[in-house]
Amino acid sequence: MPELITSNYSKETFPELLTLSFGMTKTEVKIVYQKKGLRPLFERSDRLDFISPPVDVPQAAEINLIFKDDWLVAIYQYFEVEKDDASAFEHIAKYRDLKDQLVAKYGLPEALEFMEDKFNNSKSRLKGFKLKKGNYASIWRNISGMDVFLVLGGDGLDTFIRLTYKLRSDS
């Protein structure tokens, strides 16, 4: 029986973790979403994507569900991030709020928080994220057979906050 991915936190923060289990088939996952009146925006043999928002969650922007041999093995949940340069510190505050909730559940993570010096100020911080010159990342390894990653970063186009739950390949 696959382990249920659970959270002690509100559905508004971690919505997918209350309804999905590692090991669910793609058909089973699609049925969960169909009951919510949703169809995938994108589908491949190893992936389902839902967007805008995937459930009635104010700050959820996108969910990517990854399958291996038709079994759910990873959930990537993205949170909306304001696009203006003045909001860089708000991004960090949102990241740290999510991190605090995860610390309360899983304990202290491995953490990487860095910013290249020339971007480490209020005027340049968001630019640093967009250029991939800085990332805030927290990693919890081997928590009930899964790894959890929380990342605030940039991809050259947009700044993002991503929460990942990934089944450990050795479990």
Instruction: Express each pLDDT in 110-124 by its tens digit.
Output: 877 766 777 777 777
Contact 102, 150 (CB under 8 A): yes
For the chain, the structural domain boundaries read 15-79, 85-165
CATH architecture entry for 15-79:
2-Layer Sandwich (3.30)
Tally of CB atoms within 10 A around 93: 11
* pLDDT averaged over every residue in the chain: 77
Most confident of 14-18, 124-128, 143-147: 143-147
Q: What is the pLDDT of residue 44?
A: 92
Q: What is the pLDDT of residue 96?
A: 83
In angstroms, what CA-CA distances link 136 with 61, 108, 151?
19, 15, 6
